[in-house]
Structure 1
Amino acid sequence: MPKKIALTYFLLFISWFQGWTQVPGFFLKEDKRKVTIPFYSSNSLIIVPVSINGNQPVNFMIDTGVRANILFSKTLGDELGLEYSRRLSLVGADGTTNLMASVSPVNQLDLGPIVGNFQNLLVLEEDFLELESVIGVPVYGILGYEFFKYNPIRINYDDGKLDFFKNKALKWRPPFFKKLELSVEDNKPYVQAKVKQKSGKIIEPKLLIDTGANHGLLLNRETTDDIDMPSKVIESEIGQSLGGLLYGFIGRVDYLKIAKLKLEEVLTSYPDTTAFSYVIKDSGRQGSLGAEVLGRTKVIFDYPRERIFIKKANNFYSPFEFDMSGLSIKKLPVDQTRFFISDVRENSPGARSGALPLDEIIAINKVPVFIWELVEINKLLRSEEGRVIELELRRYDPVDSKKWESLSVRVRLQKQI
């Protein structure tokens, strides 16, 4: 082949390769079959450090349930030197809260061996999620659909590791994994499942796969008359979303089947209908699968070929336990480790103990709170029926926060559902 022709082909190849790596999306930096990155898991939510445009890394949550990449703080965006192209008014998930956000285009998001090129960021002007108070560690944003769209991704909750594969690396089903068809609609992933309800009725709902939701199974009653809420439920907060807290009921179903994997007595959320419900109806889904179920599996998302591979993790058969105290605990987003009671469920062990909302927790079972992580406290409060938890509290004067009284309460854990 003449040198001139060979050089032409080489230049065409370089041009094609550079064009591929410069399209919007996440890619491997090196020509490898896969790379592995560790993640921090809090209640099976997936948190990784991400550098924006070469700045110091900050924590992002990987969330299949959202379309856009989101940065929670415009103050942080300004500190990072982000540029904005337009300003948007959004409606929160409760259908009433107005959220203001700015769009920052053409950013580079770096995860070590993985790079996100030409990434848009939706930058909230106020952090409505306040995830640190719920999961106990600072989280500044979300990676959504863009992270998954070109490459298979394996999530190993047992080891806290994420494998990011080359686009064509998984041509065959990995050993011992079950295959499940995946439909990606409006940049969100859906699967079909089978659910046997306490009424005995079996349904086959279309479910959103939502790695960023800390529930197990969620069923939206407004989408079909076939969803029967069980007779034994408790009314509770069921999640945090853009726009504030979501409320509803917690119950159980007899079993949930996904790709022939069967989970029994699954805790199930039944959210109240909101002004946002029409969006759920329009999507055609009847509910969602969250981290409490997904965290019991090893799962591979393959968006390009519209499939999921899934198998049991070590904790697959662990019972689904709900909080047995009736206390909702949140972390104050400050430098010191501080926890407070955000809500007390009526007629619960926590209510009978005398604990009140806004009480600050100073020690748990004589152990100062700076020793505790929020995830450990939540595990303790759902650990064993009959266990007595001693809380040392500080109750502030509602008029003068510099005044308080100290008190100690005892909470005997009792199954509520």
Structure 2
Amino acid sequence: MKLVRYARIGLLLGIVLCCFRGAAQHYQLLDGRKKSPKIPFELVNNLMIIPLEVNGTPLRFILDTGVNKPILFNVADQDSIELRNVAKIQIRGLGTGDPIDALRSTGNIFKLKGLVNPGQQLYVVLDREMNFSPSLGITIHGIIGYDLFRDHVVEVNYGRKFIRFHNPATYRHRNRSREVTVPITIDRNKAYVSGGVTLEDGEELDVKLLMDTGSSDALWLFRDDDEGLYIPEKHYEDYLGKGLSGTIYGKRTKVKQIRVGDFVLNDAKAAFPYLDSFRALPNLGDRDGSIGGELLKRFNMVFNYPSGELTLKPNAHFRDPFHFNLAGIELEHAGVRYIAERITDSRGVVQQDEEDTFGTVQILTSQRTRLSLVPEIVVSAIRAGSPAEEVGLRQGDVILAVNGKSVHRYKLQEIMKMINEKKGKRIRLLIERYNRDLLFSFTLRELFE
């Protein structure tokens, strides 16, 4: 299957920095506490978004166990951010492109509820296109990972959407039913867990997987025919994401089983990325792939880097079906647009919205019409051979409504869910193209028939 190529920011971060040595920085619990308060996070497209203060400026970061040092992306609108001890460098990440220009800054004060680091090193990506906010539908300024995990026991509760940091010297784990503790290894500041994968009807294969909370995907596997890691017969070519050094493509499929500890998930979503995207890594060693947020969110877990342990307990998401993009389109925010709505009924009575829209500015006119400034949702990508491509949808089309529901009342991920609800579902999209409204209709179908 050929691909329709497109330029967009992938939700799969997969970022690897070149190695820069510097003085160690450490996060300390405030006031000698044994643990931090509960820190709420937003779960957006399987990614944890946490509030973080950088040199006095409140920002939003993705919590990413697959990244070493913090990286700032979207700083164009944050002129008040003070960066200290800045030097220009080049960094390289996943993808097939060249290294990119960046800034390295040291001695920055990072604060998270109950934690502070007075000397944090960070990197600033200068490429304006490296911006994850449009694809996620909320403002994202950067990513942070290892520095938060290395010195503490980190409790991640995907079910109730909070994290908490514990002092490892005083932490005492209370055993709970249905939970399992497995060993993890920390290599080059990243955590790995052993598991098992059954591709089709064969035997289970032992695999070593990177724990990658910064990936919105479920499971990545590296093809190795000698070790039995082959691509299942039922697959299709897909765009998997974008790293610092370019786009990442691969084969999308599903595996019969994935096992982590004693827990087994059936018919799991998986992908085999093309290995030329990993040339920034000097050596993959014995790593066989990675586990991302769509799989990890099915557990509440405790990361204990100091002791080399990971505790897993299934939560309410454990049996959720894996999400596939059945329609074959991706959406993103692309600025804002005005919409006009009548605010009275046939008797002239003012109508009240039961559900407020998000991110709107409203103006009421003398004709009882409301002008609202709302996010503009556009088609950012189309998979070749998909139902959306077959009926004539195009990259750049502005989405106005899904099955009669105006999209400005919904968050981006809610719209994506509406478009990909289930196989056999008839989807009607009202779009705007060159100032004309057009209606497209297609049926969602099974990807692996």
TM-score class, shorter: 0.7 to 0.9
Shift of 1:247: 1.2
Distance 1:38 1:300 in 2: 16
2:370 aligned with 1:368, yes or no?
no
Q: Is the 8 A contact 1:341 1:357 kept in 2?
A: yes
Determine the structure 2 residue equivalent to 1:384.
422
- Cα distance in structure 1, aligned partners of 2:138 and 2:65: 20
Secondary structure at the aligned position of 1:193 is classed as: strand
Q: Quote the offset at 1:78 in angstroms.
A: 5.5
Task: For 1:184, give the aligned amino acid.
Answer: I
Q: What is the deviation of 1:278?
A: 6.5
- Show the counterpart of 1:410: 441
Question: How far apart in 2 are the matches of 1:25 and 1:408?
Answer: 55
State the AA in 1 paired with 2:63: I
What residue number does 1:150 align with? 151
1:37 counterpart residue number: 39
Q: Which moved more, 1:113-122 or 1:139-148?
A: 113-122
Match of 1:346 in 2: 384
Partner of 2:100: 99
Considering Cα pairs closer than 8 Å and 6+ residues apart, tell me whether 1 or 2 has the greater RCO: 2
TM-score, normalised by the number of residues in structure 1 = 0.87
Q: Matches of 1:280 and 1:312 in 2, distance apart?
A: 35
- The percent identity for this pair of structures is 27
Letter matched to residue 99 of structure 1: I
Q: Quick check: 320-329 or 256-265, which moved more?
A: 320-329
How has the CA–CA distance of structure 1 residues 218 and 363 changed in structure 2, closer, same or farther, with 3 Å as cutoff? Answer: same
Kindly provide the CA deviation profile for residues 288-345 of structure 1, in whole angstroms up to 9, marking residues without a partner as x: 0000000111111111111100010111012213111111222225574111112222
Question: 1 or 2, which has the higher helix percentage?
Answer: 1
Partner of 1:288: 290
Alignment of 1:210-249 (within 5 A): 210-221=212-223, 225-249=227-251
Matched residue type, 2:39? I
Deviation at 1:347, TM superposition (A): 2.4
Q: Is the 8 A contact 1:191 1:206 kept in 2?
A: yes
In 1: Cα distance, 2:82 partner to 2:174 partner: 44
Aligned counterparts, 1:83-232, within 5 A? 83-172=84-173, 174-176=175-177, 177-221=179-223, 225-232=227-234
For 2:49, the equivalent position in structure 1 comes to 47
- Is the alpha carbon distance of 1:77 and 1:183 closer, same or farther for their aligned partners in structure 2, counting shifts above 3 Å? farther
Distance in 2 (CA, whole Å) between partners of 1:280 and 1:263 is 32
Cα 1:222–1:200 shift into 2, 3 Å:
closer
Equivalent residues of 1:83, 1:105 under 8 A apart: yes
In 1, Cα distance between the equivalents of 2:78 and 2:331? 29
Distance 1:149 1:128 in 2: 31
Query: Which runs of no fewer than 5 residues in structure 2 stay unpaired?
Result: 1-22, 337-358, 360-373
1:394 pairs with one of 418, 423, 432: 432
Moved more, 26-35 or 39-48: 26-35
Q: Using the TM superposition, give the Cα deviation of residue 392 of structure 1 relative to its aligned residue in structure 2, in angstroms.
A: 1.1
Shift in CA distance, 140/283, structure 1 to aligned 2, threshold 3 Å: farther
Distance in 2, Cα, partners of 1:296 & 1:155:
11
Is the CA contact 1:77–1:123 (under 8 Å) kept in the aligned structure 2? no
> Structure 2 vs 1, CA of residues 290 and 326 (structure 1 numbering), >3 Å: closer, same or farther?
same
SS at match of 2:284: helix
Q: Is the 8 A contact 1:74 1:124 kept in 2?
A: no
